């Protein structure tokens, strides 16, 4: 059975948001179609190998992120909430442990606000990653925007 999204306080969250130049449906597709997601997921210079992408509550997302430094980072995730085209959430089963909630809000017909939240069980866990991931999440959003440009073209 899938887990619920955990309740957190601001000190247990890392939040990145951006308004992108694409419709909500296209943004949702960029996050949920593995043929697009693999092109932009992760910080600058990373590539991905997706082993499994089963987009349903309780479904698995298993992938390896290949870092520009030649490191390989295995990720095991489970989808815990899907509300097309408004929200997608997953729980990581590989360390570091946290949940992700991504929401998509229509600003206008061709602009969407993306809010990417990383939710942690404790402020301590959150603060361990915060110094590293804030800039990396911005790089991830830059890559999303580049993928959206290709999708719209």
Could you read off the pLDDT tens digit of each residue along the chain, which spans 153 residues?
457 899 999 999 999 999 999 999 999 999 999 999 999 999 999 999 999 999 999 999 999 999 998 899 999 999 999 999 999 999 999 999 999 999 999 999 999 999 999 999 999 999 999 999 999 999 999 999 999 999 998
pLDDT at 69: 87
Residue 15 tokens read as: 């939040």
Give me the CATH number covering residue 89: 3.30.530.20
Q: Please tell me the pTM assigned to this model.
A: 0.94
Residue 87 inside a domain? The answer is yes
What residues pair up with 53 in beta bridges, in sequence order? 61
Residue 136 inside a domain? The answer is yes
Residue 126 inside a domain? The answer is yes
Residue 93 inside a domain? The answer is yes
Q: Do 97 and 77 touch, CB atoms closer than 8 A? A: no
Q: Give the residue from 88, 89, 90 showing the smallest Cα distance to 75.
A: 90
Taking CA atoms, 94 is separated from 16, 18, 59, 75, 98, in Å, by 22, 27, 15, 6, 9
Which residue shows structure tokens 């955990």?
6
pLDDT at 1: 47
Residue 60 inside a domain? The answer is no
Residue 2 inside a domain? The answer is no
pLDDT at 40: 98
Q: Sign of torsion, CA 44 136 88 90?
A: positive
pLDDT at 2: 52
Residue 92 belongs to domain spanning: 10-44+81-152
Residue 120 inside a domain? The answer is yes
Residue 22 inside a domain? The answer is yes
Q: Do 56 and 82 touch, CB atoms closer than 8 A? A: yes
Q: Do 44 and 100 touch, CB atoms closer than 8 A? A: no
Split into its structural domains, the chain has a count of 1
Strands (E), the chain: 13-20, 47-53, 60-66, 72-83, 87-92, 99-108, 111-119
């Amino acid at each position: 059975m899938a887990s619920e999204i955990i309740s957190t306080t601001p000190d247990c969250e890392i939040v990145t948001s951006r308004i992108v130049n694409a419709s909500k449906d296209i943004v949702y597709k960029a996050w949920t179609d593995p043929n697009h997601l693999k092109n932009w997921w992760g910080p600058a210079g990373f590539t991905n190998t997706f082993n499994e992408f089963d987009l349903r509550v309780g479904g698995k997302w298993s992938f390896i992120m290949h870092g520009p430094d030649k490191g390989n980072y295995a990720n095991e995730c489970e989808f815990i909430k899907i509300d097309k085209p408004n929200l997608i959430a997953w729980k990581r089963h590989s360390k570091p442990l946290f949940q992700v909630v991504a929401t998509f809000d229509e600003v206008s017909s061709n602009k969407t606000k993306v809010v990417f939240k990383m939710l942690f069980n404790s402020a301590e866990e959150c603060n361990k990653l915060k110094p590293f991931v804030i800039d990396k999440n911005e790089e991830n959003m830059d890559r999303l925007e580049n993928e959206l440009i290709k999708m719209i073209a």
